[in-house]
A and B are shown apart, each in its own frame.
Chain A
Amino acid sequence: MQKSLDSSKNKKIYKQLRDQYLISDELKWLNDKRVEVIHQNPFKLNKQIMVNVYFYGNSNEIIKHNYTYENWENAKQLETEIKEKLKTFKAPEIYLSIIIRFTENGKEINIIDLIKHGVADMNSFLTQFKLSTNTNCLKCENMELKISEKIKEICIYELCLERDYKYIPSTNLLEPKSRAKMLGFNDNNINKKEEKVPINNNFFQSNNLKDMFKDFISCHILIYKLQKQHIMPTMFIFYKDKTFKINPFLAESKATFYRKINTISTQIEREHIIGIFVVWESYVLPTNINFNERYEERVKHSEKTILCFYYIDKNLEEIFTFVNSETIENDIYKSIKESDFNSTINPHYQLFYSIRYNFAKTYHKYLNLKNFK
């Protein structure tokens, strides 16, 4: 484009927008990959396939394999291996996820994020240049529509990298669970900046995480009351740079919930996460429940449902707040401390082990993590 610009005004606009949009790390990565491929260098991007099985209180990675471009064909043998491993578990149901990750030079990279952000930067550059130069061209408008479709197509691939399942040994049934993804599209663009929001906004009354947690609770109780029932599990993730991200997800299966918790825990160190809030809805089961029964049978004994809120920060401070969905009008802000632990809290406490562990590993390096609970 630079070579085709005829006026000094357009050249100036080009330079301004280039410096604003085209010098990101993501675009540099995309450009480096392009150069590597053009020069037919060996492909250094490796795939890692993991099979995680989740149990009460923990998750086990039962399979982890690395594949390169050359040995990718071996991945087809994975089916047999999963079959053999599943045979060894004794449980009324088994929740598992199959996850594909990418590594480059031994380091995990989020390839979809790199692509998404790089493409969004380039798209913003072209859109802004068009607006700034008052370019009005039917051919370009048609091309914009085609580009928008292609971007959506690429973003959808993210769904293929993670899949959750529930396996019932007694009936020999394995159900792949449905997949859903929130896509941040704004008209024809990917609005990647929408993902992280400054904490200084009208939603929160204060910059203090614990006060913000109260706002988080109030907001979700209100949504819950308005909807009468059912709330989408949602995480608010807070970063060191005073921004936060809202991460709602469709949890059709327990495996999805466990996977989301595990995924976010692995991002704590890399992305400088300083606090996490979670809201979800849960059944309350009697203390004498038989865990050999299948989940569908167990929940039939449920006395009530509760709205659950979880808070953790980098100082390892944790708050669980449970609100009885039947008495939601009167039962607000009932925080429960560690000393009050009972059968309601324990499963939830175990649920967040990986988050607790990774906060400790990142911000409390002096702690002995060998017997960490």
Chain B
Amino acid sequence: MSNCIMCTSYQKFYSALKNLSDFIKAEEFCDVVSSIDSFFLNLEI
């Protein structure tokens, strides 16, 4: 299957989104909240 004029653009956009998603994960957006969640579930005050 040959490439159309948009194939490269779609591929690049997908790669950018994948990088963005990986970046968000790597930046530990959620890590603190999820670790606090687990901390609270085992809370002993």
Contact = CB atoms under 8 A, between A and B. Distances in A.
Please indicate whether A and B come from the same complex rather than being unrelated chains: yes
Contacts, number: 106
A119 B24 CA distance: 14
B14 A147 contact: yes
Contacts of A82: 36, 39
A164 to B, nearest CB: 11
Given A1-B8, A129-B6, A137-B7, 17 more contacts: A4-B5, A72-B28, A76-B35, A78-B36, A79-B35, A79-B39, A83-B45, A140-B4, A140-B7, A143-B14, A144-B10, A147-B17, A150-B14, A151-B17, A160-B34, A161-B33, A176-B40
Interface residues of B, number: 32
Interface string A106-150: 000000000100010011001001100101011110011011001
A165 interface: yes
| Chain A interface, >50% SS class | helix
Interface string B5-33: 11111110110011011001000111011
Contacts of A163: 33, 36-37
Contacts of B43: 83, 172, 174
Given A126-B6, A161-B29, A172 B44 contact: yes
B31 to A, nearest CB: 8
B6 A157 contact: no
A6 interface: yes
Given A150-B14, A163-B37, A139 B3 contact: yes
A129 B6 CA distance: 9
